[in-house]
A and B are shown apart, each in its own frame.
Chain A
Amino acid sequence: MENLDELMRKKFDSDDPAGRFEFREEFWEQAQVLIEADEARRRKRRRWLIWWFFFGLCIAIGGWWGSGSWNSNRGSLGDEKSRLDGSSGNLGSNNGTGSPGGNGSNEAAGNKVTSGAEAGRGAAFGTKDGAGAGAQELNANNHGTGRLQDSKNSTIKNEGVPGNVQGAAASQSARIQKKTTGPGRKGQNNTPVNVAGLQSGSVAAGAADDKQPRNASNNPSEINKTGAGVNQTDGNTTTGPARPDSMAADLAARNEWKGLALFPALPVGPGYLELPKRTVDTQTVEAFVRLIKPLRESKFRFGLSATGSFGQASPDGKRLGFSGGAVVRYNLTQTWSIASGVQWRYLSGAWARDTAETGSEQLKYSFGYKLDTWNLETQGMHLIEVPVGLRWKQGAFALEGGFSPGFLVAVQGQLTKGHMESLQEGLTTETSKVWLEKNVYHAFAPSFFLGGEWMATRRIGLTLRGTLRPGKVGPKLSDTPPPANLFWLDAGLRWYF
């Protein structure tokens, strides 16, 4: 036996193949076709990678943009709320307009308050600020204008009064402007005048029905100051000279506007400020409040994930895989968190060539023949992974990257048995799943990942993640090096509890 091996070895070793095999151009043409096809495949793979990168980028930008618009929506809700809050100011200002309107005395005051709640407050307090000559102007935004203006002779035009009154009653903006050139000096009575004097003014008369004192100040002395101008105003007008008795003036004002009854809710009188009840659409407000209710973010969030994988081809040309598992997140800050989990991954393909496929046949002759075939194919790897990563969140979009140790659990194969015999027509086959030896693969499979998540809703997130598994799939058993540096993309869903 050894002689045969020796003979063969000697002959082939001493052989000069250059003389035996003649080169023909057609051989190179065939090789060139293969080389060009391979180059085209590589180009296509690069193009795919670029497209995937572009796709991921688009998703990232879309997610970021989407999260931005979501935030802006939240902002508008906030604005809506503040607008509602501002409306109370308007109401306040309306109340105020009644008061300074009523306090026609303030024509002497040099006070100017504008806009919103400030206007209301200013209006309410207008009387106390304005002693002396000057002008007082109260503006309440978003409302109609009622204007009351005194002429120099300290008369109040009647048409101005309803305007002001109406503005106050309808929650319109009231603008009360009085310009006097020191009616206090002209007035007949420079003595301190109380609110009764104010009420004697035509504007104040509108508030006469309400016994609530509407003056902003609880300090009678200040009221008296403001009252000074009023008396001057009142001197030539409808109510006549102010009576020192405030109650009497109040009564007079009621009589004056009895027929109108336009201010059923307008309070009058000094002493304290009380805003009337305002009618608010509570349903709308509650809806807004519900919408802008701050989200409670607990420190831990748990969820489930499922992804499909697409990556570089295995030696037998398979690219797909999938994974599923549980995720947990611990929020360090509003934006940063640590993410971890446990997931099972199936990576299809026969990654170790040494066990890619085996088979055998047996043919027996015994009054006919029997043929049995066996074919064993490697289907894929099952791994358990424990990804640990850092996550940065901006709005609804999050970036995460980290390290994922993986442990090979099993290698799945498929056994196909075939049977054919002379008395039986055709070949019968039977397939079954089998678990193959794992020693041709590395048991530990570390990988690194980088990806993003877009929270489509509060509980559901869409993820796209690239994973690189550096190093070789298995130990080198033959001269064919096992594949190395696997890369794949995971796209999937996460559902948070």
Chain B
Amino acid sequence: MADHNKKKTESDHPVSRLVGLLAQFDDPDSLIHAGTHAREAGYKKMDAFTPFPLHGIDEAIGIRRTWLPFFVLAIGLSACAFGLFLQYYSNAGDWSPIFPGYAFMISGKPLFSLPANIPVAFEITVLSSAFAAFFGMWALNRLPRLANPLHRISRFRRATNDRFFLLLEAGDEKYDSSRSRQQLEEWGATAIEECNEDLTDREFPKVLKMAGLILVFLLMIPPVLIFRASGGTSRAPRLHFMPDMDWQDKYKSQVLAPDFDDSVKHTGLFADGRAMRVPLPGTIALGKLENDTEYHRGFLPPQSSYTGELPVLGEKLAGQFNLQDEKPEGTAEGAAAVQEGAAAPQDPNAPPEPNWVTEFPANVPVSRELVERGRQRFEIYCSACHGYNGNGGGLINQHAMALAVNGQAAWTAAKSLHDPTITVQPVGRIFDTMTNGRNTMGPYKSQIPIADRWAIVLYVKALQETGITPAVIAPVEGAPETTPATKPAE
């Protein structure tokens, strides 16, 4: 604002400023004529005020086209790209390191289903463009502007009703208070008034400042409280706003029943506090009868009362083959047990040996395919200890024996499957070893289905037919040989 327009008061602080001359016209056409004249007279800083958009006024007073449409277009296009990207990001993959998307596979549609993503992208475009137009327009118009000096002129109230105004701004070069007034009268103004701005209007009202400060202060309270609470601990239970279905009034298995009645603890449904009953003794699940003892247990029926507890047969057999001289020192307790077993005579109280089947049961289809299957299964389950050729070279066996040397583990070395004590075993016996385990070999009953166990037995037999020399287990550093058998191959 040009300095010479400021009116100085006694205290030398300007409190009002001349804005310009406001002329009133009674009909739109005279306003347009006046505006045209003004523009032709060289006035540039001026504005017209009408109750409705007056067509023709733009050319009359020289209003240039606004660039708002380009702004809206730019925002709209970016929003479209954003909308497509949002859907790609969130529905088509989880590549992002933070807040990754989640790849929905729904009815076989492609992960990035462009046809299905168009509606949302379109809506986002329209919404953003509308915001751009709306807020852009108000921003360009510099609104809201609640303290406009024109509102102080009572005549101006009719600008939104039925009168038309022209303002020649004092800042314009051609402005001159008396000459401009004269021109306006010539151009048909019905009333002319000076418009002054009270500069104190520009100040933010004190009331609002106070209210704003108080509001800011109040708004600070929740974050402060949260900050205080975030580092601390509390014994009070968490605030659980949305119960969802977190506490359900129902019984769940394997869990103590909820306390419905505070007076009685863990009532459950039954006296023992459970909501379920255990099966009666002797209950057998469907399909688990397993009454074909040959097939399911590997021995002939007369031993049906056999429950699977076996003496350490290996030690007994070892006795038959004079293996007791060998001292498998690699194993601590195992060595002792072997020694005991080898030294002790047959314990008469031990349960009798079951009558192992020596032929494969009828429903085991002995064939090349079964050998292959057995090989595959052997390599999965057995080779870890017994090694690929059955000679005990499996890594677990090696590592366990190394640990046992240092006294860090109890381990009975996995026998070579070519060992004579093993090769004489009937198929049923081998089956039983696999099913129920032996020494540190655990039972594989729950891991290997019956058919596969017989396949592995077949494969073991096939391996034994190959006549591989029973292994000399490689000595670990500092440890003596631990091979239980050193008989050369036949």
Partners in one complex: no
Q: Which B residues fall within an 8 A CB radius of A?
A: none
